[in-house]
Amino acid sequence: MAEEITNEANEDAKKFSIKNLGMNAWIGIAVAALVIGILVGKFLLGGGAPGALNKTTLTEAELNTVVATYSQNGAAQNLTARDAIEMTMGSLDSAKGEDGNYTVPSADLILYAVRNRIAVSEAEKRGINPTDEQLLEYAEKNLGLSPDFESIATSNNISVDRAKQLLTDSYRASELNKQVAGELDAKEPEFPKEPEYATKNDAGEALSEEEVKKNQEAAYKKANADYAKYIIGLAGDEWDAAGNKWKSADGPYAQALSKYEIKNDSATYEAAYDAYMVAASAYSQKQSEYSEKVKDFLSDMYAKSAISINTLAQ
């Protein structure tokens, strides 16, 4: 790590956390999202083909227009504009223009919706049918949402039934992940709490940029027991508590923090920050390996499907 840690660097590191995703990130989420770059086995884009939807907006009465047909396990299925909009945008209002008409979903969004349908249908076939209690627990624990259907629906401007369906799809996708790839053997690390430092003088006047920077650097280099506890907690078996030192200089934490003095009850924020980056990198690697297992499964499943998309929207 550089000699000084800036606020900008801190913010960049915090963005690493998947918990900072906005509300739209969970709406319509299904396991298919992990393989957005994998094409369905046989793919036909409409536009000039017979049956193509040769318009870019729809009236409310036209929302049940079929925008895609696809096969799954030999059975033909239809996807309507309403389905595609709600699955990818969360609510119909998201696609509604000032003239009262609705924007036809793009081919990418339709493909995404079909993949969601296929993946969630597979999960349902496997008997993944959550109770309301399981959905609320999942919403709070995994998505950071209120454990209350009405609150979730209101905050996202959708109906309670729609909120339940979206959560059900997301839950089924998550459980399907576990069935095909096992549990994700990793936990996302918490970001270390940044130390406080003065930005104003005793009179309440703002300090100069240079003075604030000096105060920040001093705070980052000041050791305390909390940062030591944080680092040791991440390092786990790498730390020798009895010897008050690293068990070996070869471990990932010992190597990354070699320039810092770490004790059972003493470490700086700078050291804690670097420890976080080690943990975050390891977590990211575990996620990638996990996603690859899921992608392999889905790639095989999608290869057995065919889809025809009827839209001019880009």
- Nearest Cα neighbor of 24 from 115, 158, 178, 114 is 158
CA distance 153 to 269: 40
Q: What is the pLDDT of residue 50?
A: 39
What's the average model confidence in pLDDT over 113-124? 88
Q: Which helix (DSSP H) or strand (DSSP E) does residue 146 occupy? A: none
SS3 185: coil
- Please classify residue 123 by burial: count the beta carbons closer than 10 Å to its beta carbon, then call 0-12 exposed, 13-18 middle and 19+ buried: buried
Instruction: Decide if pLDDT at 303 tops 70.
Output: yes
Residue 251 near residue 259 (C-beta atoms within 8 A):
no
Q: What is the pLDDT of residue 8?
A: 52
If one counts every other C-beta atom within 10 angstroms of the C-beta of residue 115, the result is 27
Return all residues near 195 (Cβ < 8 A) that are at least 6 apart. Answer: 219, 220, 222, 269
pTM over 0.85: no
Q: What is the pLDDT of residue 246?
A: 98
- Mean pLDDT in the chain? 81
Q: What tens digit of pLDDT does each residue of 177-220 get?
A: 889 888 777 788 999 999 999 999 999 999 999 999 999 999 99
| Ranges 77-81, 225-229, 249-253, 295-299: which has the least confidence | 295-299
* DSSP state at residue 260: S
Q: What tens digit of pLDDT does each residue of 210-263 get?
A: 999 999 999 999 999 999 999 999 999 999 999 999 999 999 999 999 999 999
Distance of CA 247 to the CA centre of its chain: 35
Q: What is the pLDDT of residue 184?
A: 76
If one counts every other C-beta atom within 10 angstroms of the C-beta of residue 246, the result is 18
Q: What tens digit of pLDDT does each residue of 1-36 get?
A: 444 455 555 554 443 333 333 333 343 333 334 333
CA distance 71 to 68: 10
What's the average model confidence in pLDDT over 52-66? 84
